[in-house]
Amino acid sequence: MVDDRDEGARLPEELARVLADYERHLVSERDLTPHTVRAYLGDVAGMLEQATRLGARQLGDVDLATLRSWLATQQTLGRARTTLARRATAVRVFTAWAHRTGRITDDPGALLGSPKPHRTLPSALRVDEARALLEAAARAADDGTPVGRRDVAVLELLYATGIRVGELCGLDLDDVDPERRVVRVLGKGRKERAVPYGLPAARALDAWSRQRPALAVAGSGPALFLGVRGGRLDQRAVRTLVHTRLADVPGAPDLGPHGLRHTAATHLLEGGADLRSVQELLGHASLATTQIYTHVSTDRLRQAYRQAHPRA
């Protein structure tokens, strides 16, 4: 997160108290992750600090003009449209909470507009590229080392389930049900969901489970995937793995683990899965988030049509 807060700025006592109450609400009532809490608080605190410089001493002094001035300042600083949209949303959520809890009589954030972020289609591998990626990982694992087997299992599971890299690294041994071929995932907002995986991923996980003791140490705990020193595998190592193995696939885009999530979603839809099912598999709170993958599929169909149809 880019922090535009002025380190010299100090909030009046009432605004500081409201911000502290909001932090407790985010942590205790909404049960958000520490990263999400920091992002929300940073955006709201930045707005309150500018409001203070404009003369606000209590939350009731923050009106729509104040919010628009703050957003305009962000735009002047050259913030991206996606950043502006996110910060406007953070402030709208904050003022809605303040209004709902009786801290202000009117909700100025309800009238705050924000620039629509540019829609960027996520990059995704073709089916043959995904297959080549997994085959490259399998070839690298032919030496039979625990790390090689682990890497194959990581890539197979990412592609099979479309789970986030943080969700993958957070998996424990008892989160995997090999009989039903289902993995239990703790997603955003600590919402739990069950995601099925196929036979290739099952075989890779089985091979890794036989090799896992070779990397395990006293402090390994229940982590499913382990690093070379026996601790829980971290996200940076997974990103390095994906980039390294994709380098072995000629012509493939250089994607990270999230690119495999895009790929899984795109291939599911292209294979006939309905949008609601893909939403559940990915753990999206809103169907609108999942709908971007339909644009990916349509784009590929259009490209194939242009290349193949004699009257295109």
| 3 state SS of 194 | strand
Residue of 79, 150, 267, 284 marked active site: 284
Q: Which residues contact 220 (CB under 8 A, 6 or more apart)?
A: 226, 230, 231, 232
Q: For residues 182 and 173, is the Cβ–Cβ distance under 8 A?
A: no
Active site residue 258: yes
* Beta-carbon-side half-sphere exposure of residue 39 (alpha carbons within 13 Å): 14
**Which DSSP string corresponds to 199-250?**
HHHHHHHHHHHHHGGGT--TT-TTBSSB-TTSSBPPHHHHHHHHHHHHTTST
Residue of 164, 212, 245, 262 marked active site: 164
75 token code pair = 């735009």
Residue of 22, 40, 197, 293 marked active site: 293
Distance CA 264, CA 274 (A): 13
Residue appearing with tokens 């890779």: 204
Residue of 79, 92, 149, 261 marked active site: 261
Q: For residues 186 and 172, is the Cβ–Cβ distance under 8 A?
A: no
Distance CA 97, CA 76 (A): 28
Candidates 169, 149, 160, 166; CA nearest to 201 is 160
Residue of 25, 243, 258, 300 marked active site: 258
Active site residue 164: yes
Active site residue 293: yes
272 phi and psi, to 5 degrees? Answer: 110, 0
Residue of 188, 193, 239, 243 marked active site: 188
Count the helices and strands in the chain (H runs, E runs): 12, 3
Active site residue 261: yes
Distance CA 38, CA 3 (A): 10
Active site residue 305: no
40 token code pair = 């929300």
Active site residue 188: yes
Catalytic residues: 164, 188, 258, 261, 284, 293
